[in-house]
A and B are shown apart, each in its own frame.
Chain A
Amino acid sequence: MSETELEADVTVDAIGSSCPGPLMDLIGKVKSAEPGTVIRLQSSNADTEPDVAEWAEKSGHELLEVVEFDDHWDLYVRTHD
């Protein structure tokens, strides 16, 4: 699957970053985001999805969807209210 109906408010491009770069880039964006913001995190690191899923659960944010492309994943996260 490489399509989604979700629209991101902001995109964080972490393609090419090694672990834990993508999750840290996401956390940095979450710190400054308004509640309810949908963030698209782009990562080419396979560890990013489990890391983000676990962090989102712990911190109360929501991992909405993961979209797979040939060379990376788009992870959609909505910050909690």
Chain B
Amino acid sequence: MTERIVVVGAGTGGSVLANNLGEELADEIDAGDAEVVLINDRDEHVYKPTWLYVPFDEKTPADARRPLDELIDRRVDLVIDRVDAVDTEGKAVSFAGDRRDLSYDHLVLATGAQVTPEATPGLAEGGHHFYGAEGAEALREELSSFTEGHLVVSVIGVPHMCPVAPLEFALMADDWFRERGLRDEVEITYTYPIGRAHGIRSVAEWAGPLMEERDIDVETFFNPEEVDPDAKVIHTVEGSELSYDLLVAIPPHDGSDLVREAGLGEDGWVDVDPNTLAARNADDVYALGDVADLPTSKAGSAAHYAAGALADRLASVARGHRPTAEYDGKTVCFIESGRDEATYIAFDYEEEPVPKRPSKLIHWSKLGYNQSYWLTARGVL
């Protein structure tokens, strides 16, 4: 009997997992004992960290995309379609189009996170963001003509993708305006929902003094509940107001209705065991990457490392062995602290990160990794 592993979503987690399984189960797939199906709703893979550079015109959305059929192991069956429901009792997924339902022995959801600016009244009309190709390009247009006024970088949605990107954006914008001789004309404010500049305490302790040194105002306990796009004012749950000329927001994020409707997690994130990644509410279902409700960051590196552990587990199960590999929460994030310096953090479920001293070398390592990422997506690196 063929063990069919179905992976929904070909972002970092889904692609790395499918490629690792294609390699680990090569003999079983060739013998017809195992089958790996990767389903994605578009025929391209998107490397989201590229978007941070688009507003500064350093990269384009095309740099973030590669055709999936160039990235995915030939032993993996690639299906381009949109899954619109999961039946965890009948163990099958159904599609938005005419395609017949597909049964599974093991299902992995790697559908990522969605940005939902519309969840905050006035935000879609009054704010910009860089959490998507269109948003990043619109922000590039706006930034290119912004020569004076108040730039507000506001973290509205927590959790959000790439936990350090808002800090990076504020620090890069500071550097970008300085280089162009405009910094004296541009006031920058960074806001965060809790009582410090970042959820991870050590990152907040690193960023706080740096923001002060760079003359970036930091507003904490700042939770926007409404944006007035005409008056250009943000109103918060705490009762405060902040005027802006250009608002760059980290919008609220959401998992997916697919997850809610399948009973896998009330908030749209899949409720999983943090080590085995197994769904708590269904048998033989797993979640990987941003859609998994894990006590770590929604970051590509977390998805990458989790995919390695899950590939080992699923390969063991497909061979009839007891799985022993576990994900320990490992996450690594580069942090741009300007446009030619960066630091990085590494942490897991147990260890808090300690940011290193920023350097040009780490900045170039980040840019170098962005190129070699395509080896990660292929399951090589």
Chain A residues in the interface with B (C-beta under 8 A): 16-21, 23-24, 27, 30-31, 47, 51, 54-55, 58-60
Question: Is B295's CB under 8 angstroms from A54's CB?
Answer: no
B67: CB under 8 A from chain A? no
Measured CA separation A16–B295 after assembly (Å): 7
Mark the stretch among B85-93, B136-144, B192-200, B362-370 that contacts chain A. B192-200
Q: How far is the CB of A32 from chain B (nearest CB, A)?
A: 10
Known: A18-B295, A55-B194. A31 touches B199 (CB 8 A): no
| Complex alpha-carbon distance, A19 and B202, angstroms | 12
> How does the 8 Å CB contact mask read for B190-233 relative to A, with 1 for contact and 0 for none?
00011100011100000000000000000001010100000000
Q: Are B237 and A31 in contact (CB under 8 A)?
A: yes
Contacts of B225 in A (CB 8 A): 31
Interface contact B158-A20, CB-CB below 8 Å: yes
A21 to B160, CA, bound (A): 11
Among A16, A18, A19, A21, chain B packs the most CB atoms within 10 A around the CB of: A18
Instruction: Report the bound CA distance from A17 to B349 in whole Å.
Output: 11
> Mind listing 22 A-B residue pairs with CB under 8 Å?
A17-B295, A18-B296, A19-B194, A20-B158, A21-B158, A21-B159, A23-B194, A24-B158, A24-B159, A24-B193, A27-B193, A27-B223, A30-B237, A31-B223, A31-B225, A31-B237, A51-B195, A54-B221, A59-B221, A59-B238, A59-B239, A60-B239
Residues of A within 8 A of B201 (CB): 19, 47
Q: Do residues A20 and B221 form an inter-chain contact, with CB atoms below 8 A?
A: no
What 0/1 pattern do residues 150 to 182 of B give for CB contact below 8 A with A?
Answer: 000000001100000000000000000000000
Contact B295 A55 (CB under 8 A): no
- Chain B binding surface, main DSSP class: loop
Bound state CA distance, A23 and B193, in angstroms? 9
In the assembly, what is the distance between CA of A59 and CA of B194, in Å? 11
Known contacts A16-B295, A21-B159, A47-B201; A58/B193 CB under 8 A: no
Smallest CB gap from A24: residue in B: B158
Sorted from nearest, which 8 A-B pairs have the closest CB atoms? A18-B295, A59-B238, A20-B199, A20-B194, A24-B158, A58-B221, A54-B195, A27-B223
Interface contact A19-B199, CB-CB below 8 Å: yes
Chain A residues closer than 8 Å to B221, beta-carbon distance: 54-55, 58-59
Chain B residue nearest to A16 in the complex (CB): B295
